[in-house]
Amino acid sequence: MSGTSEGPTPAADLDRSAVTESDNTYRKSYEKTDETTDAQTAPATYEHAFAAAALPMAMVDREGLVTAANEAFATLIGADQAGLPGRIAADLVDLASDARTWHAYREVLRGRQARLRCTRRLKHPDGHSVWTQVTIAPLAKDVPGVLISVSDISARRELQARLRHLQMHDPVTRLPNRTLFFERLSAALEAESYEQSGTGRIGLCYLDLDGFKAVNDTLGHRVGDRLLAAVAERLTRVADEAGFARAGAPLVARLGGDEFALLVEDSTGTEQLADLAESALAALQAPFDLAGQRLSLSASIGVVERHAAGTTATGLMQAADTTLYWAKADGKSRWTLFDPERNAHLVTRQALSSTLRPAIERGEFVLEYQPLVGMGDGRLSGVEALVRWHHPEFGTLAPNRFIGLAEEDGSIVPLGRWALTTACRQARRWQLDHPGEPPIFVSVNVAVRQVWDSDLVADVAETLAETGLAPHLLQLELTESAVMGSAGRPLQALQALSDMGVRIAIDDFGTGYSNLAYLSRLPVSVLKLDGSFVRGFQYDDPGDRPNPADEVVVEAMIQLAHRLGLTVTAECVETSAQASRLRHIGCDTGQGWLYSRPVTADRISELLDTGTYADAPAGKP
């Protein structure tokens, strides 16, 4: 018989069950004990890590007092670690030295700002300084206070300083370069720099070596670099001597190429800058001995001295550059002081030059006409066309203000073409309006550049054909310096114009080359005596007499001209006594204020109705 039945649990099974329950209970007990141990040992572990860390650290409570600091922190600031708790943290890492950092630090302490990072230079008790980066951050949420960590960045700062020095200094002369110079200049011109102390003035000597390019071209750049370095040494010595017994020496900088600058902050006036410029020139006069080469050179210096208030770095450099240009133009090897009046004239000149061509297109130029009067009969025989510029800003300008500029930039060609066409058209109009009077000629000034840069012969032929003016009623005036010695194209042009029937006049005769032998071979029909000769005939007191030498020279020139088949016009006739004497010695035509100032075309029309200038009072037609 077989079967199963339930009965008591075997002993072996009881033992196994007990062991399992006991093991579970032990495991739970062990795990609980392990968790408790971790929680108890964690603070101790962090404290050990804090103390052993190589990074200087300190814990600070919300009142700003140190609660703990590691040994690295104490070593960095040179303090006793045991004495750090309770000390004011801001004093240890210099957080109160500026208001902005101090405010940010207080905000972190109060929990209103997440963190603060700043750079501080901490002074060690043994005397050396350490550049540090200080970081302040809150501790855990439930832990009051902040953690200050400090990194020594002295090596990085030193590297940055070396790199900045390389960036801000010229490798050839080791002087401050253009970048550092402008940095110093801009700082010196800031209001807080000069308002609190000093003279409130600034000075600059802008120096350029004369003929340095020839050294590089002939001896090579290596010798040129040595010369620049030697110049830098001498200028530095000059600056050091100038700074003796003063607050500081002038800054010497190389601005590029062979240009140097000496910047004087808190200058005492132009005399100080003049002395500095003189010393610099004197220092460079002695020859330079460079590797067997004995070189001499000179320098030109532009000097500017003014109030710092209202001055900009750009404005100061522009003034210095302009003044240096003046020193070069005045003969080099000298210094020149900035002259506001001269600069204003230069600025005006530049403004005129830049607007010349547009002004021609806008029709801002007009012609006025000054009568040419026969000395024998006192009748109007011709007029000289004189161009005027009705400038919208500077008013009416005489030719001496802009003709030179027009010749420089080439705008004299379109301007001269306009003047020629306008004058010929007006002369033809007078002829048509006064058919009963002998026609008068018109004299037009021509610049030598018009001959070179345009086809003057073609322009004249086209103008005469267009206006209907007869060639003999046109006279072209060229200065003596432009005509004498002419060859090639200019001479061919003059000959072609003369063959056409146009009269050629030499203006300002007697002040240029006066090559009388060459005069006989030129296609010239009129000589216009310069006004300086005619003024010698002027005298106010009836008892006075003109200089006999002036009379002899003028009379000789008139006789010579007549023998060559030329007529003579005297310019600047202002008195009846002058006119009488000129008439007596045979002068053909007179021009000047005795007869009329330059007037409009309408006024010439009125004069044609009378036709005579005999006994005309001075200054009035």
Dump pLDDT digits (tens) for 180-236.
Answer: 999 999 999 988 777 766 788 999 999 999 989 888 888 888 899 999 999 999 999
User: Rounded to the nearest 5 degrees, what angle is found at the Cα of 36, between the Cα atoms of 35 and 38?
Assistant: 65
Residue with tokens 């530049």: 350
Amino acid at 383: V
Question: pLDDT higher for 481 or 325?
Answer: 325
DSSP letter, residue 169: B
Establish how many alpha carbons lie within 13 A of residue 491's alpha carbon, considering only the half-sphere containing its beta carbon. 9
Question: pLDDT higher for 9 or 594?
Answer: 594
- Enter the tokens of residue 144: 């009051």
**pTM of model > 0.85:** no
Q: What is the pLDDT of residue 17?
A: 42
Q: What is the pLDDT of residue 52?
A: 82
Average pLDDT of span 249-261? 94
How far is CA 568 from each of CA 12, 327, 457, 534, 589, rounded to the nearest angstrom?
157, 42, 25, 12, 6
Return d(Cα 362, Cα 382) in angstroms, integer.
29
Q: What is the pLDDT of residue 472?
A: 96
Full 3-state SS string of 367-400: EEEEEEEECCCCEEEEEEEEEEEEECCCEEECHH
Task: For residue 160, name the pLDDT band (cuts at 50, 70, 90).
Answer: confident
Helix/strand/coil for 60: strand
Taking 70 as the threshold, does the pLDDT of residue 157 lie above it?
Answer: yes
Lowest mean pLDDT among 257-261, 293-297, 470-474: 293-297
- Enter the tokens of residue 57: 């650290």
Question: pLDDT higher for 265 or 480?
Answer: 265
Taking 60 as the threshold, does the pLDDT of residue 12 lie above it?
Answer: no
User: Rounded to the nearest 5 degrees, what angle is found at the Cα of 59, between the Cα atoms of 55 and 61?
Assistant: 160
Q: Chain-centre distance of CA 323, in angstroms?
A: 10
Q: What is the pLDDT of residue 245?
A: 60
Q: Chain-centre distance of CA 582, in angstroms?
A: 52
How far is CA 149 from each of CA 49, 50, 89, 135, rounded to the nearest angstrom?
14, 11, 11, 5
Task: For residue 619, name the pLDDT band (cuts at 50, 70, 90).
Answer: very low
Helix/strand/coil for 57: strand
Does residue 417 contact residue 454 with C-beta atoms inside 8 Å?
A: yes
Taking 90 as the threshold, does the pLDDT of residue 49 lie above it?
Answer: no
Alpha helices in 140-269, H assignment, sequence order = 154-168, 178-188, 191-195, 212-219, 221-243
Q: What is the pLDDT of residue 518?
A: 67
Taking 70 as the threshold, does the pLDDT of residue 614 lie above it?
Answer: no
Q: What is the pLDDT of residue 545?
A: 59
Among residues 602, 187, 136, 612, the alpha carbon closest in space to that of 368 is found at 602
In DSSP terms, which residues pair with 147 in a beta bridge?
Answer: 59, 137
Residue with tokens 């090639």: 488
Q: Greatest CA span in the chain, whole angstroms?
A: 186
Q: What percent of the chain has pLDDT over 90?
A: 54
Task: For residue 602, name the pLDDT band (cuts at 50, 70, 90).
Answer: very high
Q: What is the pLDDT of residue 41?
A: 55
Taking 70 as the threshold, does the pLDDT of residue 540 lie above it?
Answer: no
161-175, 340-354, 546-560: range with highest mean pLDDT: 161-175
Return d(Cα 301, Cα 354) in angstroms, integer.
28
pLDDT digits (tens, 9 = 90+) for 298-344: 999 999 999 999 899 999 999 999 999 999 999 999 999 999 888 88
Taking 60 as the threshold, does the pLDDT of residue 8 lie above it?
Answer: no
In DSSP terms, which residues pair with 214 in a beta bridge?
Answer: none
Taking 60 as the threshold, does the pLDDT of residue 28 lie above it?
Answer: no
Among residues 421, 521, 530, the alpha carbon closest in space to that of 479 is found at 530
Does residue 596 contact residue 555 with C-beta atoms inside 8 Å?
A: no
- Enter the tokens of residue 305: 């001295």
Q: How, if at all, do strands 474-479 and 441-445 pair?
A: parallel
Question: pLDDT higher for 349 or 615?
Answer: 349
Task: For residue 290, name the pLDDT band (cuts at 50, 70, 90).
Answer: confident
Q: What is the pLDDT of residue 14?
A: 33
Q: What percent of the chain has pLDDT over 70?
A: 86
Q: What is the pLDDT of residue 493?
A: 87
pLDDT digits (tens, 9 = 90+) for 548-591: 777 888 899 899 899 989 999 999 999 888 899 899 999 999 99
In DSSP terms, which residues pair with 295 in a beta bridge?
Answer: 288
Task: For residue 485, name the pLDDT band (cuts at 50, 70, 90).
Answer: low
Burial 583-609, CB ≥16 within 10 A → b, else e:
bebebbbbbbbbbbebbebebbeebbe
Taking 50 as the threshold, does the pLDDT of residue 150 lie above it?
Answer: yes
Q: What is the pLDDT of residue 18?
A: 38
